[in-house]
């Protein structure tokens, strides 16, 4: 198991390098000019100097190498400095955003809590709703509950978040006026009243994202339970005289959770991608919204870094899913 993990970790390095190269090459083809907004009165030689200051003067492979060094070597140093107060990164050049002229990672760190709160909370809520639904609809297969559950998951699967978002804004903000339609990120939680406000503004984005999660994981949980419910060991457990609750909730559930846990791990990066749209609908200024504004503003270092961070998330959670599968299911042997 350990050798497998190490081998996968080593294999992840060329994958990530290749992905970063693809993203970099794609951005290299960008027709947009970061100097386009500079007034025409600025003389051409000054413009050329500004271009050099942005790091655009050098050939492509040198800039790629510089970005790699900045991202993989200097940014971790900054992180270590921040943690234990050393000064490893003093005077070293970090990845700089063209929009704000400040380090990209600082902005990402500022935006991270909003995304993590909304996305993370919605994922937890979605999983917590999905598991009981999946278990019960498998246990009572073809019952009314199962049919209704299947229909609801199908609907959740089919309705995109950019429709559910405006729809529940219309219902709960415009018509009923229960929740605010815009997420206020400057809001600070200090006491019970502000906590209630925070809860109110979080409910709608969390619900929109959770619907997607619930639909996917609920369907998967049901299928996995159905696979296990007809197996011989279940009959044996019943024949031993175990109560139905123990049979289903202990014996069947534990075995059914094996594939579901890996699917939950695999879904984490996808939910970040989905959050791009939800953040846009509810005006949450998280990572997704940062990416969209960077794309509009032609801020290539920012776009490159955020897109690559999404890729890292995907590769990392794929690895976690594979390792989890091996740990949870002793029949799986990678070596």
Partner 1 sequence: MTETERNPESTLATTGALPDPIPTTPPRNKWRDVWDQFKTHRGALVGGIVFCSLVLLVLVGPYFWPFDPTYIDIRARNQGPSLAHPFGTDQLGRDTLARMMAGGRVSVAVGITAMLLALGLGSFIGVMAGYFRKLDGPLMRLTDLFLALPLLPLLLVMMLLFRDPLNSRFGPETGIFILIVVSIGMTSWMPTARIVRGDVLAIKEREFILAARSIGTSSTMMIMRHILPNVLSPIMVSATLGIANAIITESALSFLGLGFPPDFPTWGRLLFDATDYLQQYPERVIWPGMAISLTVLSVNYLGDGLRDALDPRIRGR
Using CB under 8 A, list all residues that contact partner 1: 15, 18-19, 22-23, 26-27, 29-32, 154-155, 157-160, 162-163, 166-167, 169-170, 174-175, 181, 269, 273-274, 276-277, 280-281, 291-292, 295, 298, 303, 306-307, 310-311, 313-315, 318
The Cα–Cα gap between 325 and 331 comes to: 10
Neighbours of 300 (CB within 10 A): 20
- If the CB atoms of residues 315 and 323 are measured against partner 1, the closer one turns out to be 315
What minimum distance in Å lies between the beta carbon of 281 and partner 1? 8
Burial class (CB in 10 A: 0-12, 13-18, 19+), 8: middle
What minimum distance in Å lies between the beta carbon of 315 and partner 1? 5
Closest CA to 285 of 210, 212, 184: 184
The answer for residues whose C-beta is within 8 angstroms of residue 297's C-beta and 6 or more apart is: 98, 99
Structure tokens that stand for 23 in this block: 């993203």
What minimum distance in Å lies between the beta carbon of 280 and partner 1? 6
- If the CB atoms of residues 96 and 270 are measured against partner 1, the closer one turns out to be 270
- If the CB atoms of residues 52 and 174 are measured against partner 1, the closer one turns out to be 174
- If the CB atoms of residues 5 and 280 are measured against partner 1, the closer one turns out to be 280
What minimum distance in Å lies between the beta carbon of 301 and partner 1? 13
What minimum distance in Å lies between the beta carbon of 105 and partner 1? 17
- If the CB atoms of residues 25 and 93 are measured against partner 1, the closer one turns out to be 25
- If the CB atoms of residues 96 and 277 are measured against partner 1, the closer one turns out to be 277
DSSP 41-74: TS-HHHHHHHHHHTT-SS-HHHHHHHHHHIIIII
- If the CB atoms of residues 222 and 251 are measured against partner 1, the closer one turns out to be 222
What minimum distance in Å lies between the beta carbon of 249 and partner 1? 29
* Alpha helices, H only, 140-191: 144-158, 161-168
- How far is CA 159 from each of CA 138, 163, 275, rounded to the nearest angstrom? 24, 7, 15
What minimum distance in Å lies between the beta carbon of 239 and partner 1? 27
The Cα–Cα gap between 15 and 316 comes to: 11
Closest CA to 272 of 294, 291, 295: 291
């Amino acid at each position: 198991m350990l050798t497998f993990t190490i081998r996968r970790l080593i294999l992840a390095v060329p994958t990530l390098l290749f992905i970063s190269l693809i993203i970099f090459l794609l951005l290299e083809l960008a027709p947009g000019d970061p100097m386009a907004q500079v007034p025409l009165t600025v003389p051409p030689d000054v413009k050329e100097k500004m271009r050099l200051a942005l790091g655009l003067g050098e050939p492509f492979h040198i800039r790629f190498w510089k970005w790699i060094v900045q991202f993989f070597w200097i940014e971790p140093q900054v992180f270590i400095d921040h943690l234990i107060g050393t000064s490893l990164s003093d005077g070293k050049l970090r990845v700089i955003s063209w929009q704000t002229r400040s380090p990209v990672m600082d902005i990402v760190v500022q935006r991270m809590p909003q995304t993590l709160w909304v996305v993370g909370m919605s994922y937890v809520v979605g999983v917590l709703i999905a598991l009981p639904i999946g278990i019960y609809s498998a246990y009572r297969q073809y019952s009314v509950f199962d049919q209704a559950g299947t229909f609801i998951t199908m609907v959740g699967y089919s309705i995109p978040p950019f429709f559910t978002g405006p729809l529940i804004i219309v219902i709960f903000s415009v018509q009923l006026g229960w929740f605010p339609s815009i997420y206020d990120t400057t809001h600070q939680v200090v006491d019970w009243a502000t906590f209630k406000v925070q809860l109110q503004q979080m409910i709608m984005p969390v619900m929109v994202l959770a619907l997607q999660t619930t639909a996917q994981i609920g369907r998967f949980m049901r299928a996995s339970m159905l696979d296990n419910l007809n197996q011989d060991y279940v009959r044996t457990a019943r024949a031993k005289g175990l109560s139905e609750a123990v049979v289903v909730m202990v014996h069947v559930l534990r075995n059914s959770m094996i594939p579901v846990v890996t699917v939950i791990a695999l879904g984490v990066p996808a939910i970040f991608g989905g959050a791009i749209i939800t953040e846009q609908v509810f005006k949450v200024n998280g990572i997704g919204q940062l990416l969209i504004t960077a794309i509009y503003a032609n801020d290539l270092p920012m776009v490159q870094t955020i897109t690559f961070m999404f890729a890292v998330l995907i590769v990392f959670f794929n690895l976690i899913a594979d390792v989890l599968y091996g740990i949870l299911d002793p029949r799986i042997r990678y070596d």
